[in-house]
Structure 1
Amino acid sequence: MHDLKRQASRSRFALTPVALVAVALLHAGAARAQAAAPGGEEALTLRRSPLLKDEIPAAARKELPTFLSGDHLSGRPDLETVIDGHAELRRGDTVIRADRLDYYQPDDLAKARGNVHINRAGNVYEGPSLDLKLDAFEGFFNEPRYHFLKNDAYGEAERIDFIDDKRAIMRNASYTTCQRRPGPSWMPDWILRAASISLDNDSGEGVATGATLSFKGVPILPIPSLSFPLNDGRKSGFLPPTVGPDSLNGLEVTAPYYWNIAPNRDATLFPTLMTKRGVSLGGEFRYLEPLYRGQLRADYMPTDTLRDRQRWGYAAVHSGGLETGITGLGTLGLNLNLNRVSDSNYWRDFPRTTASLTQRLLPSDASMSWAHGDFFATLRTLNYQTLQDVTAPIVPPYNRLPQLAARYARVNVGGFDFSVDGDYTQFQADPTLTLQPNAKRTFALAQISRPWLAPGWFVTPKLQMNATNYQFQAPLANGATTASRVVPTFSLDSGLVFERNASYFGRAFRQTLEPRAFYVYTPFRDQSLLPVYDTAANDYNFATVYTENAFSGNDRIADNNLLTLGVTTRLLDPDSGAEAARFGIAQRLRFKPQNVTLPGGTPVADGVSDLLLGATVNWSPKWMVDSTVQFNPQTHTSTRSTIGARYNPGNYRVFNVAYRLQRGTSEQIDVGWQWPINDLWGQKDQDMGRGRGLGEGRWYSVGRLNYSMYDRRLVDAVIGFEYDAGCWLGRVVLDRTTSGTTTASTRILFQLEFVGFARVGSSPLQTLKQSIPRYQYLREQVTTPSRFSNYD
């Protein structure tokens, strides 16, 4: 939540208005803009303090000794030293080599001539002549070639003037991140040429004036002035404008601006022109403090010509503590999640605004909590905005205005664990839509258990008492305006754990066998007239099969007299303890019917339940299979099935497939992948290391397809290609998102990335990251290079 996309640093230009027009015209065929979408690319983190520098402090540098060496040494003590032949000077993180070197000690001035090579903290400069004051790092270098360590940039200049150890100005200079190749005719794929380039390592910014960006030998972007990053730090400035088509909004043009307010605060403004709708003004603000953090996103469209009205939406998140300054009260927890839009069509018209605003149920949730020792209390208000669709209406959930909850819990008190929970909630919604009255509900849940635990077994009896009271704003069907319910529950959880050494397929394991029995008894209480405010049936899976209640929430307590039997076996690596495989089976034996149901539900008959089967296999880091099947032994069919597999043999190679079945309701196949397609013609990988791709000249196929077999249609689709040329990357992605039962939006995302310099076009990176599990960026700096990685 508190990450900022790397485009805010790597792809940010400080452009003049003329340059903005030039970029927009250049990329008129690009796809819908996401450049300013918060979180839209690789992440930068808000920080409470600046980064530590991998440099020698200036004060300490002055105290460092100077080492001189060469073929011939002459001079006057404490005045000057002259070295002829293989001359070398060392001081701290600075090394100078040349054919001849004159060092004037009173001025701390070094003059180097002939094949001059200087390495300053990993940054290398080479050329014919250098004059430099060492401590101040002030001077000039004629006709230098350079290589910067942190962003792997190369270039040459007519002259470099070193202002100090952080700042320099290059005259008639070139700049690129393309690796040099042997031969006099070599030219980089992309290069920036400028009348002057100013470098400021303190701010991590380079500024070029009179600049031209060339790609494949063709000048594509003349710009009077632009700024670019020298590292991964954030800085203020315009992001590259993006232009692209969208099937819903027409041609979209976005000119985002990033404002780096402080290390722990920033903002992004992203005005957008939509040819079918009008102008949208958007922005995001983020903050990070010692006790709290948060972000605010807002969009405003004065006039939407398609809807003939104003459009707006906002989403705000805040979490952390609130210092009261009151003795004995201390810090309160404060959490906010606010979401609102102007109208019910917002989620359909702007399906990619933010994740929270593309839903049809928008919560505005505010809570304040306090904890002291074993006691915890929270005060909460929750209010939903329901975006209705006439083709698929939904019943709105209940607002909680307010909810007050408290809990007191103790463990191992004389061997016993106990807790008491209390809750008061006022539920509000439109009775004409919910078809039941609003109410104030109070409930208390007390429970006590006595666990007996040993290395090979456990037994835990538990007793619960649930008491609930309702006060209705309108009478029920029987005329009652109040209702009460008290329900006791007894449960007994027990299990055994056996272990043995085993071997399968030539591999040694520690195998476990873990049978488990869980019995629960809850007497029947007639709850058929009680409304339902926050309750739903639990899913039938391994997380809920060993629980006391068949429902979540507090409006229904299921009557139970059942025994759940199950067994799990696991294969563990004997050295690391890592789980290579897990297989489980469970089934419920119901001794009497469950008569408590949700409205419209039917009682659950006695006898045996569906069989629950589960398997997870991580046999090797390459393969993973996870499956859960709910099998009906009477019909010999699966009621629900979820089967997923992942093949991940290495970096930038992943294939995911999942099959999901809920009989009579849905059946889907989900496939996602990232794969180098140069394998098809036998090109071998280059081990570039994590975050560096698989080598130059490689194509990658990326995508995710979600197909509904029940509806016989493609629900969502992301498919595209990435190309890695080493110093530049190309991406083109087709993104189709369903925005209603009969509508969908389609966009084409195209991006050209000049590695270590800028990204131009509409970014598909966040779409790929969210859609494809284990997707990897082709260029993701894992660690910051140290000066010792390029040490002379």
Structure 2
Amino acid sequence: MHHPTKAFRHCFALTPVALVACALVQAPVHAQAVDPAAPPLDVGQPVLKASPRLREDIPATVRPGLPTFLSGERASGRTDLETVIEGDAQLRRGDTIIRADRLEYHQPDDLAKASGNVHINRAGNTFDGPTLELKIDAFEGFFLAPRYRFLQNNAYGEAERVDFLDDQRAVIKNATYTTCQRRPGPSWLPDWIIRAASIRIDNEEEVGHASGAVLSFFQVPILPVPELSFPLSDKRKSGLLPPTFGLDNLNGVELTVPYYWDIAPNRDATFFPALMTKRGVDLGGEFRYLERDYQGTLRANYMPTDTLRDRDRWGYSLIHSGTITTGLAGLGSVGLNLNLNHVSDDNYWRDFARSGSSLTQRLLASDGSLTWARGNFSLLARSLTWQTLQDVSSPIVPPYDRLPQIVARYSRTSLPGGLDASVEGDYTQFHSDRTLTLQPNAKRAYTLAQITRPWQAPGWFFTPKLQLHATSYQFDAPLVTGATTASRVVPTLSLDGGLVFERDASFFGRAFRQTLEPRAFYVHTPFRDQNQLPNYDSAATDFNFATIYTENAFGGNDRISDNNLLTLGATTRLLDPDTGAEAARFGVAQRLRFKDQLVTLPGGAPVSERLSDVLFGATINWAPQWSTDATVQYNPKTGRSIRSTIGARYSPGNYRVVSAAYRLQRDSSEQLDVGWQWPINDLWGDKGQNLGPGMGEGEGRWYSVGRLNYSLMDKKLVDAVVGLEYDAGCWLGRVVVERLQSSTTSSNKRILFQLEFVGFTRLGSSALQSLKDNIPRYQYLREKVTTPSRFSNYD
């Protein structure tokens, strides 16, 4: 049967349903789709997920029932056998479309043969070449000399042949692969490219496997490997991760070859053996889990025979949080939280200062707690021990272990008369090395009962509070007085009140709602002699706006300060009248002491000053890109500030942030801290493109990144992280120099190099982690936050 046509097009529907819908091919096709939301991914580490990611592919069970549309300039064929389309031929079924100069479709075999300028688009992945044979539903066949492009990562290449195994898998022979996009020019070659004898594509697992592969960078082979796997998306997969290397003044040349094990969507493990030329081999690993009721991370390192210390080195860290179901009706669940840390020796914090875990501190806590709450009652059972890493030149008095600590609390609000009441009991057994603490260990029972009556209304508030502190001790050795037990009972009365005034105001041509909020806080606690008692957990609170309106000058429960003082302060705020956003806040506060404070910490002196230092504070967010925060503790007698902290941040857009902070502790420290991330191209007027967060600002962009911490008192640089980043579009380059202080006389220095081949892999040192840890508000140049949809490349 032959159907000649000239000035019009024909379409053939090969199923009855398609016959009805055939005319749709003649009209333009418009499609919209909402892409399934994908959670943001941390480019430094895979993300654990509670469930597999959604797919938008058409299910295989649905495909056989989909209609097939054929169109072209000339058509011929036999009914229910074959159809031949010549001239602008097109076959469409579901998310698959084939275009060619000539197209044959054999209906019994569901086989399409296309030749001449063949183009195929399946769910956004495209192939172009001279010859194609394909079974449409099974998606089995081959394509000769194709050029291909994948939707997920915009990667593309050329090959001698592609064999389609099914709708998810294909084998590409004698292939190239890159994400560098083609630019005009006959001799253009991508900056980086993979050449492989074969590449196996698995879209179901979203991974590619290359055999006989070589990675070339600017036509220079840099990574020849017999077998190579790489991601086609952000989906996690098991396999070797790119090796990292670096230079360290302590470890020498350091090479790490990580292996990632994708155990399940909610569990994974990473093994990272490292070779250090000055030290030996460090075997490290990390296991993560995320369940419905609990989650955690276990990290461990082991170095047999460290040549630097001539001994084995090891450390581990476990963080766990979750709930345990009791199984008893009405009793609810018990919370379990663990934070366990331990290392092999006192020098671990100094030698492994870049291990990427909490084991680089000198005080390592092993803390475990069980919590339970029901209604107004809560209960905590806790065990806390400390490992203190001592240094002869700078010894530390170890904190006290708590074995055990039991805390019970009962609270009620809205009692008759508008009263709020609570009672808290704490039993703790303190233990440490008495030769270092120079005081006995003890069992301490502490109770705090309090009752308040808050009054609050628009424009004012007033809250009286009555507290009763009761404490008893049992010591394992006599005090200097010979006592083995002690007790105390201390009452406290406080009155807290304030007013709130508002008015409309205008400053610098801008309208505001201005507030004036004066506040008065009075506290009276009679003197109870506590200076002969040991101190297990009390310390002086910091003098700031958060603590100046509190009853006790100490944190912890071993010292309750005697007070007869009045705190007066005032705050004024400038609010946007339309949004309520705070544009500025200014505050001032000072204490007036009517009686000396006689209760002190061991070695401390009574406080006799009637007027305290004055606190000044200011926070200004006049424009979204500017932020300023300052706190000054001023002594009116000396006319000098005792402590000052002034910080500012300027961030006019993505990848542009400069922050600076000045910190002064009179006669102790004075430091200047500056951090930044900024495009260097701005210096010659190239402002780049606004592509949004996680997309960079276009190709050919240089970025300066860094953070400097300088001691003005010592006139020396304490910490420094300075680097350069280059965005070439399809690859990123980073070089970072680190100098971080590890003690008063030594520092660790590193040079980090990293090449990131976008959509493929990273080579070099882990410079990204260093930048994220040290530079405030640092943004990754590539941080994919959405998954491409097939409708974004709809034919």
TM-score normalised by length of structure 1: 0.93
Partner of 2:782: 779
Which one of the candidate residues 328, 331, 334 is aligned to 1:332? 334
CA distance in 2, matches of 1:690, 1:149: 21
When structure 1 is superposed on structure 2, of 349-358 and 386-395 the one drifting more is 349-358
Which one of the candidate residues 490, 495, 498 is aligned to 2:498? 495
Which one of the candidate residues 227, 235, 238 is aligned to 2:237? 235
Amino acid across the alignment from 1:550 = A
Map of 1:271-420 to 2, 5 A cutoff?
A: 271-414=273-416, 415-420=418-423
Tell me, yes or no, if structure 1 residue 425 matches structure 2 residue 425. Answer: no
Q: Displacement of 1:214 after TM fit?
A: 1.2
SS in 2 for 1:235: coil
Tell me, yes or no, if structure 1 residue 659 matches structure 2 residue 658. Answer: no
Amino acid across the alignment from 1:748 = I
Q: Deviations over 1:392-439 (max 9, x none)?
A: 111110000100001111222232211110100000001111111100
CA distance in 1, matches of 2:503, 2:791: 50
Structure 1's 130 and 502: CA in aligned 2 closer, same or farther, altered over 3 A? farther
Tell me, yes or no, if structure 1 residue 130 matches structure 2 residue 132. Answer: yes
CA distance in 1, matches of 2:336, 2:586: 42
Cα RMSD of the aligned pairs, angstroms, is: 1.6
Partner of 1:764: 767
Q: Displacement of 1:505 after TM fit?
A: 2.2
TM-score normalised by length of structure 2: 0.93
8 A contact 1:581–1:619 mirrored in 2: yes
- Which aligned segments of 4 or more residues in structure 1 are displaced greater than 6 angstroms? none
Which one of the candidate residues 582, 586, 589 is aligned to 2:585? 582
Amino acid across the alignment from 1:768 = L
Tell me, yes or no, if structure 1 residue 473 matches structure 2 residue 476. Answer: yes
CA distance in 2, matches of 1:274, 1:40: 27
CA distance in 2, matches of 1:47, 1:660: 41
CA distance in 1, matches of 2:69, 2:564: 87
Q: Displacement of 1:543 after TM fit?
A: 1.1
Partner of 2:534: 531
8 A contact 1:41–1:766 mirrored in 2: no
Map of 1:48-127 to 2, 5 A cutoff?
A: 48-127=50-129
CA distance in 2, matches of 1:146, 1:140: 13
Identify unmatched segments of 5+ residues in structure 1: 1-38
Partner of 1:46: 48
SS in 2 for 1:584: strand
Q: Displacement of 1:261 after TM fit?
A: 1.2
Which one of the candidate residues 542, 546, 553 is aligned to 2:545? 542
Partner of 1:700: 703
When structure 1 is superposed on structure 2, of 275-284 and 357-366 the one drifting more is 275-284
Amino acid across the alignment from 1:242 = T
Q: Displacement of 1:625 after TM fit?
A: 0.6
Partner of 2:14: none
Amino acid across the alignment from 1:445 = L
Structure 1's 168 and 421: CA in aligned 2 closer, same or farther, altered over 3 A? same
Tell me, yes or no, if structure 1 residue 551 matches structure 2 residue 554. Answer: yes
SS in 2 for 1:59: coil
CA distance in 1, matches of 2:120, 2:224: 32
CA distance in 2, matches of 1:142, 1:41: 36
Q: Deviations over 1:117-163 (max 9, x none)?
A: 22222212222222222222222222211111111111111111111
CA distance in 1, matches of 2:81, 2:582: 71
When structure 1 is superposed on structure 2, of 186-195 and 606-615 the one drifting more is 606-615
CA distance in 2, matches of 1:62, 1:566: 77
Amino acid across the alignment from 1:396 = P
Amino acid across the alignment from 2:109 = D
Partner of 1:34: none
Which one of the candidate residues 462, 466, 473 is aligned to 2:465? 462
Structure 1's 565 and 201: CA in aligned 2 closer, same or farther, altered over 3 A? same
Q: Deviations over 1:704-762 (max 9, x none)?
A: 11111122221111111111111111111011111111111111000111111111111
Structure 1's 70 and 334: CA in aligned 2 closer, same or farther, altered over 3 A? same
When structure 1 is superposed on structure 2, of 744-753 and 577-586 the one drifting more is 577-586
When structure 1 is superposed on structure 2, of 664-673 and 493-502 the one drifting more is 493-502
Q: Displacement of 1:197 after TM fit?
A: 0.3
8 A contact 2:244–2:766 mirrored in 1: no
8 A contact 2:163–2:171 mirrored in 1: yes
Tell me, yes or no, if structure 1 residue 185 matches structure 2 residue 205. Answer: no
Q: Deviations over 1:765-785 (max 9, x none)?
A: 011001001111111112111
Tell me, yes or no, if structure 1 residue 600 matches structure 2 residue 615. Answer: no
SS in 1 for 2:186: coil
Which one of the candidate residues 757, 772, 789 is aligned to 2:792? 789
CA distance in 1, matches of 2:522, 2:735: 56
SS in 1 for 2:622: strand
Partner of 1:164: 166
Relative CO higher for 1 or 2, CA cutoff 8 Å, sep ≥ 6?
Answer: 1
Partner of 2:11: none
SS in 1 for 2:65: coil
Which one of the candidate residues 217, 235, 253 is aligned to 2:255? 253
When structure 1 is superposed on structure 2, of 325-334 and 247-256 the one drifting more is 325-334
Give the fraction of aligned pairs with identical amino acids, expressed as a percent: 72
Q: Displacement of 1:250 after TM fit?
A: 1.7
Tell me, yes or no, if structure 1 residue 691 matches structure 2 residue 694. Answer: yes
Structure 1's 475 and 778: CA in aligned 2 closer, same or farther, altered over 3 A? same
8 A contact 1:591–1:606 mirrored in 2: no
Q: Deviations over 1:8-60 (max 9, x none)?
A: xxxxxxxxxxxxxxxxxxxxxxxxxxxxxxx9952421112111113222223
Q: Deviations over 1:338-365 (max 9, x none)?
A: 1111111110111111341110000001
Amino acid across the alignment from 1:589 = L
CA distance in 1, matches of 2:778, 2:391: 34
CA distance in 2, matches of 1:462, 1:65: 77
Partner of 1:486: 489
Q: Displacement of 1:606 after TM fit?
A: 4.5
8 A contact 1:71–1:86 mirrored in 2: yes
When structure 1 is superposed on structure 2, of 658-667 and 497-506 the one drifting more is 497-506
Partner of 2:742: 739
8 A contact 2:332–2:374 mirrored in 1: no
CA distance in 1, matches of 2:454, 2:460: 11
Q: Displacement of 1:77 after TM fit?
A: 4.0
Partner of 1:211: 213
Between Structure 1 and Structure 2, whose CA radius of gyration is higher?
2
SS in 2 for 1:607: coil
CA distance in 1, matches of 2:306, 2:213: 39
Map of 1:9-48 to 2, 5 A cutoff?
A: 42-48=44-50
8 A contact 2:42–2:783 mirrored in 1: no
